[in-house]
Amino acid sequence: MTTTTDHKSTVLRALTDMRETGSVEGLVPLLSEDFVHHRPDSTSSTRTEWLAAVQAALTPLADMQVTVHHLPAEGDHVVLHSRRQLPQGPQISVVDIWRIEQGLFAEAWEIIEPAAHAAANLVWWQAAER
């Protein structure tokens, strides 16, 4: 029986492996064949498309600092809330939601927000001043 603790460990292990190796090779056996990655703009990518996109981003993001703030899990879902900072770039807040099925990542959702925009986004429903 897989527990939420196991799921959290899998997520952290995958993140750590990618950061240490600069490669997605360690992710390959952790993703289900029908893995889907969802973006906030309602687009999705397949396992192959997502692995290629992550691999392409690893080199330019090699010096990125990642601070994990929260890692809650319930049932088959794990949420990773982190802050990420490039040495000469903006700080971003990221929320990744992972659904794990039979020990493999089956789905992922990702929301990225520049930290500098957070205050403005707290009142997104108010009309912009003209």
pLDDT on residue 119: 83
Q: How far apart are CA 24 and CA 21, in angstroms?
A: 8
**Whole-angstrom distance, CA of residue 3 vs CA of residue 69:** 21
The model's pTM: 0.87
Residue 56, domain member (yes or no): yes
Q: For residue 75, how many other CB atoms are within 10 A of its CB?
A: 9
**Amino acid letter for position 120:** A
The confidence score (pLDDT) of residue 110 equals 95
Our count of domains for the chain comes to 1
Q: pLDDT 10s digit of each residue in the chain, 130 long?
A: 678 889 999 999 999 999 889 999 999 999 999 999 999 999 999 999 999 999 999 888 888 899 999 999 999 999 999 999 988 888 999 999 999 999 999 999 999 999 888 888 888 777 666 5
Q: Is residue 128 part of a domain?
A: no
Of residues 35, 42, 21, the one with CA closest to residue 103:
35
- Does the residue 90 lie in any domain? yes
Q: Note the pLDDT of residue 117.
A: 85
Q: According to the model, what pLDDT value does residue 101 have?
A: 94
Residue 126 within any structural domain of the chain: no
